[in-house]
Amino acid sequence: MNDLTCLIIGGGHAGLAALQAIMETTRGMANGRRIRFVLLDKQPGHVRKVLLFRPAVSGEEIMIPWTHWFPEGVEFVQGTVTSVDSGEKRIRYTNAQENEARIHYDLLVVAVGSIVRRPDPDQGGIALTDPQVAAHIRERWRANLQKAADERNLKERKRLMTIAVAGAGISGIETSAELILAMREEASRLGLNSSDICVYLLNAQERLFPEGPEKVGRKLDRTLSEIGVTVVHNRKVIREEAGVVTFSNGDRLAVGLCIWAIGLIPNPALRSMGLPLTPEGQVLVDECYRVKGAPGVYSIGDCARIVDPRTGKADQMTCKEGGMQADRLGKIVLADLEGRPAPVHKSYKDLFCIGLGENRGLVWTRQWGLDMIITGKLGWKARKLGWDLASRLR
Ligand SMILES: Cc1cc2nc3c(=O)[nH]c(=O)nc-3n(C[C@H](O)[C@H](O)[C@H](O)COP(=O)(O)OP(=O)(O)OC[C@H]3O[C@@H](n4cnc5c(N)ncnc54)[C@H](O)[C@@H]3O)c2cc1C
């Protein structure tokens, strides 16, 4: 029998895990057929998206070469997929040299994820969208502190030492917590008073962490305030212009930099790929992640609308959920190849890990109707473990 080609588009948290899971369950063979694995991604390596704030804070490298996980047995192609022709079973992509190319597949996993939501261009500020922008953010706040060290005007110095993070979801919380610690360290190094550093976390909602109970939101508030972050609730940012943030109620705040952290949207490139989508732009799949009307095509992660058939609950855009989907997809693909009934999607329990700067973290989960909360150093250890598990580094 002929070899099969299993093509994974997107080596983010879900695609990487899917490739590992499918390789493991099929172990290169399915009904006597060998499987050739190809990973196609527009990046030259896996971007640890959950750590996107790190290059903005410390300059940490968050891209890892594919060969770290797959020293052999996988072909890597760098390119941007433009369309999927499910009738002909091939995809079109633009390769790293900007040439059009095609690849035939027998099995296809679409895991092109999401992008960080951007405000309108006239709203100013900088959205934390990718590692390059993150590095630019770091340059900006460091340059501001450098200027502040020579600034005699107290008001201007204060402005240069102030940052606003607009958007208080988990990434806004983690960004502001790590930023204040890094900025204070840099301020001390420059001979500035580190307690003059101000990081505002601007929340359009009533409280932090609407995904869980109020007491967890309060704990987060308390820890952030202990490390010096000023959390402002019920304040919607309209724009940042010339160093002034304007709120919907007309209030204003002078800042050296405004960082937007306003969530994720499904990858807009999906709109022209030719796959069936929800109105919000996620790929339509069945309870086994099979794309509707496209034999041999599966989709998981942030780019797919995945619903638990028992409860009707849709998975959120998180790598914890993407990772669980990937593990199940390995078993589904094998079952489909062998013509057996495949496992069906089941949503994962509520579990959140939040980093609050070195040695501070918070984990919340609900078990048997009870809230379980871990904080402090243990919470931080769990948070670090979560980051590593998301990129299959443990
Ligand atoms: C700052 C931040 C913090 C976060 N923190 C957490 C957290 O603490 N916990 C949590 O569970 N989730 C967190 N998330 C969400 C989490 O990052 C996503 O749920 C996760 O990245 C989804 O994985 P994915 O593989 O589906 O998509 P992505 O990680 O978006 O990966 C998509 C991959 O597809 C590639 N790609 C895209 N388009 C194309 C194309 N046309 N052709 C070829 N390749 C393409 C990309 O290069 C990328 O490698 C965070 C997100 C951000 C931005």
- Tens digits of residue pLDDT in 341-367: 999 999 988 899 999 998 999 999 998
Segment 295-310, tens digit of pLDDT: 999 999 999 999 999 9
The Cα–Cα gap between 223 and 294 comes to 49
Predicted local distance difference test score (pLDDT) of residue 29: 65
CATH number for domain 121-262, candidates 3.40.50.2300, 3.30.70.1060, 3.40.91.50, 3.50.50.60: 3.50.50.60
Predicted local distance difference test score (pLDDT) of residue 371: 94
Predicted local distance difference test score (pLDDT) of residue 3: 87
Closest ligand 1 atom to 318 CA? 19
The Cα–Cα gap between 303 and 298 comes to 11
Inform me whether the pLDDT recorded for 129 exceeds 90. yes
Inform me whether the pLDDT recorded for 188 exceeds 70. yes
Predicted local distance difference test score (pLDDT) of residue 273: 97
CA 12 to ligand 1 centroid distance, Å: 5
Q: What angle do CA 75, 78, 79 make, to 5 degrees?
A: 125
Residue of minimum CA distance from atom 51 in ligand 1? 50
CA 306 to ligand 1 centroid distance, Å: 16
4-116+265-338, CATH topology level: FAD/NAD(P)-binding domain (3.50.50)
Percentage of the chain exceeding pLDDT 70: 98
Q: Quickly list H helices, the chain.
A: 13-26, 54-57, 131-150, 154-160, 170-189, 214-227, 319-338, 376-390
Q: pLDDT-derived band of residue 28, with 50, 70 and 90 as boundaries?
A: low
Inform me whether the pLDDT recorded for 1 exceeds 60. no
Lowest mean pLDDT, pick from 26-35, 210-219, 311-320: 26-35
361 C-beta closer than 6 A to ligand 1: no
Q: What is the mean pLDDT of the chain?
A: 96
The Cα–Cα gap between 7 and 324 comes to 20
Query: Exposed, middle or buried by CB within 10 Å (0-12, 13-18, 19+), for 311?
Result: exposed
Pairing of strands 107-110, 4-9: parallel
Which are the contacts of 223, defined by CB distance < 8 A and separation ≥ 6? 177, 356, 360, 362, 375
CA 214 to ligand 1 centroid distance, Å: 28
What angle, 0 to 180 degrees and rounded to 10, lies between the N-to-C axes of helices 319-338 and 376-390? 40
Pairing of strands 244-247, 297-299: unpaired
CA 196 to ligand 1 centroid distance, Å: 35
Predicted local distance difference test score (pLDDT) of residue 151: 97
15 C-beta closer than 6 A to ligand 1: yes
In the chain, CATH 3.50.50.60 covers 4-116+265-338, 121-262
pLDDT mean over 302-321:
96
Closest ligand 1 atom to 269 CA? 41
Helix (H, G, I), strand (E, B) or coil at 236: coil
pLDDT mean over 37-63:
97
pLDDT mean over 233-256:
97
* Sheet containing strand 229-232, strands side by side: 126-127, 257-260, 162-166, 198-202, 229-232
What angle, 0 to 180 degrees and rounded to 10, lies between the N-to-C axes of helices 170-189 and 214-227? 10
318 C-beta closer than 6 A to ligand 1: yes
| pTM score | 0.96
Q: What type of residue is 239?
A: R
The Cα–Cα gap between 339 and 87 comes to 21
Per the listing, tokens 């679409």 go with 110
10 C-beta closer than 6 A to ligand 1: yes
94 C-beta closer than 6 A to ligand 1: no
CA 319 to ligand 1 centroid distance, Å: 7
Predicted local distance difference test score (pLDDT) of residue 27: 87
